[in-house]
């Protein structure tokens, strides 16, 4: 099976499970919680969890589906809260939760999703000790995500953020959740210490590459395809790797920090960045993380799951939205 077919099949499975669990619940808070969760998405983190389980023990992935759902629910909780902090109005092609309802409801909706994730892991068919380890890892991961988000926000008021700080920040904000997705799949499948560590490191490095590409997509992708506000990072003055390297090259992007940007202004910013070689430099950093991530998988024998995990890593930096 090729990667596209696998991801489509897995997304359909995850969509159906999420809809059955959350789609028809009564009450405004439940509807707000399910709003983004049931709005679609590539469901990459659940796919990683299930592949990681199968690479450890072929055919066990159905047993870890609740944990795979937990990773998607955790991811969605972070999106709901991020949208509030960033002031974004579109996510996954639909209004953000705080826009459709209000900020207090969105905060509570995110909190509900956060709690649901831990309950879902306990429903996986796995050794009780493994489930305890998985819950503990997800809890630690949520702490890291919050720290990464706080660093991301604090960077906005600094002019001295360097590439290493950025990579540490996205490692916590994005890398750690992919690391958890892979490691939890391995833990619940009964993987040994070395296998779980390799999956964790694969996920971490892949997640950093994913976020670097996401920063590029913020500029490049049309809102109708990405489902997000185009150039929101540029408008908000976020210290992405693009912005950090631009500053090192002497480019002033502060003129684009305003409430709204025209398509012409965005295209002008892209042209400046291209001419200075910034986009190419950012891509090289992402590719380096991809290559290191793939190296983590050599501990496993050649198999379909290893191939698909490697292709997911490639997909992370080749996607356009």
- pLDDT higher than threshold 80 for residue 288: yes
- pLDDT, position 300: 97
- pLDDT, position 238: 83
- Cβ neighbourhood burial of 4 (10 Å; 0-12, 13-18, 19+): exposed
50-105 pLDDT per residue, tens: 999 999 999 999 999 999 999 999 999 999 999 999 888 888 889 999 999 999 99
CB 158 within 8 A of CB 105: no
CB 113 within 8 A of CB 33: yes
- pLDDT, position 287: 94
- pLDDT higher than threshold 60 for residue 285: yes
Tell me which DSSP letter residue 301 carries.
P
Give the phi and the psi of residue 162 in degrees, each rounded to 5.
-105, 170
From 187, 207, 202, select the one nearest 75 (Cα to Cα). 207
- Cβ neighbourhood burial of 59 (10 Å; 0-12, 13-18, 19+): exposed
More confident residue, 253 or 108: 108
- pLDDT higher than threshold 60 for residue 227: no
Residues 6+ apart with CB under 8 A from 22: 30, 33, 34, 37, 38
- pLDDT, position 205: 98
Q: Measured at the alpha carbon of residue 33, what is the angle toward residues 29 and 39, in degrees to the nearest 5? A: 135
Share of the chain above pLDDT 90, in %: 70
Residue 62 in tokens: 């159905």
Q: State the pTM of this model.
A: 0.91
User: What domains, with CATH codes, occur in the chain?
Assistant: 3-318 (1.10.600.10)
Averaged pLDDT for residues 16-41: 93
Q: How far is CA 104 from CA 114, 289, 297, in A?
A: 15, 38, 43
Query: What confidence tier does 4 reach under pLDDT thresholds 50, 70, 90?
Result: very high
Query: What confidence tier does 224 reach under pLDDT thresholds 50, 70, 90?
Result: low
- Cβ neighbourhood burial of 102 (10 Å; 0-12, 13-18, 19+): exposed
């Amino acid at each position: 099976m090729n990667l596209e077919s696998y991801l489509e099949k897995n997304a359909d499975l995850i969509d159906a499970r999420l809809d059955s669990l959350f789609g028809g619940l009564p009450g405004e808070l439940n509807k707000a919680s399910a709003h983004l969760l049931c709005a679609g998405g590539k469901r990459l983190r659940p796919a990683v969890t299930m592949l990681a389980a199968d690479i450890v023990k072929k055919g066990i992935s159905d047993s870890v589906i609740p944990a795979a759902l937990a990773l998607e629910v955790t991811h969605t909780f972070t999106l709901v809260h991020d949208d509030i902090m960033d002031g974004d109005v579109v996510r996954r092609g639909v209004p953000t939760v705080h826009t459709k309802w209000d900020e207090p409801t969105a905060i509570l909706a995110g909190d509900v999703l956060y709690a649901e994730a831990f309950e879902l892991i306990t429903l996986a068919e796995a050794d009780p000790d493994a489930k305890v380890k998985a819950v503990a890892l997800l809890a630690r991961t949520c702490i890291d995500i919050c720290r990464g988000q706080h660093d991301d926000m604090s960077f906005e008021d600094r002019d001295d953020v360097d590439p290493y700080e950025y990579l540490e920040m996205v490692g916590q904000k994005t890398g750690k959740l992919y690391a958890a997705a892979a490691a939890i799949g391995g833990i619940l499948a009964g993987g040994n210490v070395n296998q779980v560590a390799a999956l964790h490191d694969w996920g971490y490095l892949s997640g950093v590459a994913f976020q670097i590409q996401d920063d590029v997509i913020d500029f490049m992708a049309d809102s109708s395809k990405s489902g997000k506000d185009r150039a929101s990072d540029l408008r908000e003055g976020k210290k992405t790797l693009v912005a950090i390297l631009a500053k090192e090259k002497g480019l002033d992007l502060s003129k684009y920090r305003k409430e709204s940007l025209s398509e012409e202004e965005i295209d002008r910013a892209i042209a400046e960045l291209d001419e200075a070689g910034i986009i190419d430099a950012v891509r090289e950093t992402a590719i380096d993380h991809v290559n290191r991530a793939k190296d983590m998988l050599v501990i496993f024998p050649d198999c379909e799951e290893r191939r698909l995990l490697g292709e997911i890593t490639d997909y992370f930096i080749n996607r356009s939205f």
